[in-house]
């Protein structure tokens, strides 16, 4: 294992996420992206880009990724790499469906959380108590969780009416859904605006309506977890101690932090969040357990967290981007093709920004990329839907490749740690 020397001065001394400076950039970036999307919507004539239906679907596809991403965040901030998230999420789907059918839908959610947390605890036992390599333990947990879940599904759901070895019966009951009065329901003012197809105005109305109509209570909880995580990790003593385990556990130890306990807390919270994501797939995004339901969303959450630079807000932005692309894929083939034009525009903006900074090489690189996307857009009529399945993965790889120097993972992330031993 590499034993990189801990840097004396932490680069980019950590400002708590969501400072005024950060918010201004987020607003600028988000606004710019929105403007681009609206332009592409008008050019391609595909209303799906900003239709409330797309946004609503996108929100529901975002939440499981977001929960896994937050899970990854807690674990890695405590210094434990968690590629077992996928397995923990799978545990959440079975536990959620089983308890949901046996005891009711809210118990399903609780059991989903507990199932995932148990997976996290197992990861903690292996990595923290026994010092197993984090990647190795994560792979093993994924294998175990998949097998255990398939067995349990076979001995439980297969015997239920309407169920089978690979899927459960429908979980009875629903989680309440809320709409914003007047604006998104009743007179539905936003809906009226959206139907006008006015540039920007209708687009904004569509997005707002998608975010405020028929929103599951569980979605609201998941979104609220983002600011809550910022507060918990950056404003509380527990958060400071947990992060110290990810940055420099040996220093934390000398200050009296119980490092193993905080690492355990990190992975158990991580598993619980992934499990909640699994339960969400069962009771909100779907209506029953299905084999292969998580479809790599645990891994995608990990990617979203890396994309988001190990910060809650960044992880949320990454998850939203991935969820949005996925929603477009499900809803409209024309809009999917328009994404190529969107990529062209985005790269053109990057060219201008890089030129202003005098960074000619980066500008040329982005320009070539933009030209490729433009030719691709003009020369083809559709973008194969298979490509969209892995678009988030490619985007994350590109971010890792070209923005790696801006990314700052916790300094001791993934490093072996044994109490009382300097490494």
Residues within the interface to another protein (CB under 8 A)? 1-2, 81, 83, 122, 125-126, 130-133, 135-137, 139-148, 150-151, 153-155, 158, 165, 296, 299-300, 302-303, 306, 384, 386-387, 389-390, 393-394, 396-397, 400-402, 404
First to last CA, the chain: 11
CB of 402 to another protein, least distance (A): 8
d(CA 140, CA 249): 25
d(CA 312, CA 230): 6
Nearer to another protein, 218 or 306 (CB): 306
Contact by Cβ (8 Å): 48, 54: yes
Q: Report the Cα 210 to chain-centroid distance in Å.
A: 19
What number of other Cβ atoms are within 10 A of residue 380's Cβ?
Answer: 11
CB of 21 to another protein, least distance (A): 27
Nearer to another protein, 86 or 203 (CB): 86
CB of 403 to another protein, least distance (A): 10
CB of 156 to another protein, least distance (A): 10
Secondary structure letter of residue 15 according to DSSP: P
Secondary structure letter of residue 281 according to DSSP: I
d(CA 345, CA 421): 52
Contact by Cβ (8 Å): 69, 302: yes
User: Per-residue b/e over 145-163, b at no fewer than 16 CB within 10 Å?
Assistant: bbebbeebbeebbeeeeeb
d(CA 325, CA 179): 24
Nearer to another protein, 66 or 383 (CB): 383
CB of 1 to another protein, least distance (A): 6
CB of 168 to another protein, least distance (A): 15
Nearer to another protein, 356 or 405 (CB): 405
CB of 152 to another protein, least distance (A): 8
Q: Give me the residues paired with residue 177 across strands.
A: 216
Nearer to another protein, 74 or 345 (CB): 74
Contact by Cβ (8 Å): 61, 326: yes
CB of 140 to another protein, least distance (A): 4
CB of 32 to another protein, least distance (A): 26
The torsion angles phi and psi of 216, rounded to 5 degrees, stand at -65, 145
d(CA 298, CA 87): 8
Which residues contact residue 12 at a Cβ distance below 8 angstroms, ignoring those fewer than 6 apart?
408
Contact by Cβ (8 Å): 100, 283: yes
Exposed, middle or buried by CB within 10 Å (0-12, 13-18, 19+), for 172? exposed
Nearer to another protein, 151 or 238 (CB): 151
Nearer to another protein, 87 or 239 (CB): 87
Nearer to another protein, 122 or 320 (CB): 122
CB of 94 to another protein, least distance (A): 12
CA dihedral 298, 301, 306, 311 (to 10 degrees): -130
CB of 65 to another protein, least distance (A): 13
Nearer to another protein, 52 or 75 (CB): 75
Contact by Cβ (8 Å): 259, 419: yes
Nearer to another protein, 136 or 217 (CB): 136
d(CA 60, CA 368): 35
Q: Which of 48, 21, 17 is nearest to 329 (CA)?
A: 48
Nearer to another protein, 110 or 145 (CB): 145
């Amino acid at each position: 294992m590499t034993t990189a020397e801990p840097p004396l001065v932490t680069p980019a001394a950590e400002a708590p996420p969501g400072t005024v400076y950060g918010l201004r950039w987020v607003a600028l970036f988000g606004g710019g992206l929105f403007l681009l999307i609206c332009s592409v919507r008008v050019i391609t004539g595909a209303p799906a880009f900003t239709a409330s239906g797309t946004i609503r679907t996108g929100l529901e596809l975002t939440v499981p990724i977001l929960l896994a991403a937050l899970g990854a965040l807690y674990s890695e901030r405590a210094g434990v790499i968690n590629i077992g998230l996928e397995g923990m999420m799978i545990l959440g789907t079975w536990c959620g469906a089983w308890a949901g059918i046996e005891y009711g839908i809210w118990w399903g959610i609780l059991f989903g959380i507990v199932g995932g947390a148990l997976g996290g605890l197992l990861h903690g036992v292996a990595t923290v108590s026994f010092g197993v390599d984090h990647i190795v333990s994560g792979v093993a947990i994924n294998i175990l969780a998949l097998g255990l879940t398939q067995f349990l599904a076979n001995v439980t759901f297969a015997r239920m009416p309407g169920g089978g070895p690979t899927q459960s019966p429908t979980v009875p009951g629903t989680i309440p859904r809320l709409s914003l009065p007047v604006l998104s329901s009743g007179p539905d003012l936003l809906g009226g605006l959206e139907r006008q197809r006015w540039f920007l105005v209708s687009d904004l109305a569509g997005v707002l309506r998608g975010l405020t109509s028929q929103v599951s209570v569980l979605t609201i909880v998941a979104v609220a977890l983002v600011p809550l995580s910022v507060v918990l990790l950056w404003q509380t003593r527990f958060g400071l101690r947990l992060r110290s385990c990810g940055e420099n556990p040996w220093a934390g130890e000398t200050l009296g932090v119980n490092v193993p306990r905080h690492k355990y807390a990190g992975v158990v919270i991580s598993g619980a969040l992934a499990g909640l994501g699994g339960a969400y797939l069962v009771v909100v995004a779907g209506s029953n357990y299905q084999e292969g339901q998580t479809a790599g969303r645990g891994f995608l959450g990990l990617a979203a967290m890396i994309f988001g630079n190990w910060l809650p807000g960044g992880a949320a932005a990454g998850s939203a981007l991935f969820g949005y692309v996925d929603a477009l894929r499900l809803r409209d083939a024309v809009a999917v093709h328009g994404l190529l034009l969107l990529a062209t525009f985005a790269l053109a903006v990057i060219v201008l920004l890089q030129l202003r900074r005098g960074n000619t090489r980066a500008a040329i690189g982005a320009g070539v990329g933009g030209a490729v996307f433009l030719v691709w857009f003009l020369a083809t009529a559709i973008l194969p839907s298979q490509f969209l399945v892995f678009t988030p993965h490619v985007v994350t790889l590109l971010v890792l490749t070209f923005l790696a120097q801006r990314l700052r993972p916790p300094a001791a992330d993934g490093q072996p740690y044994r109490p009382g031993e300097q490494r």
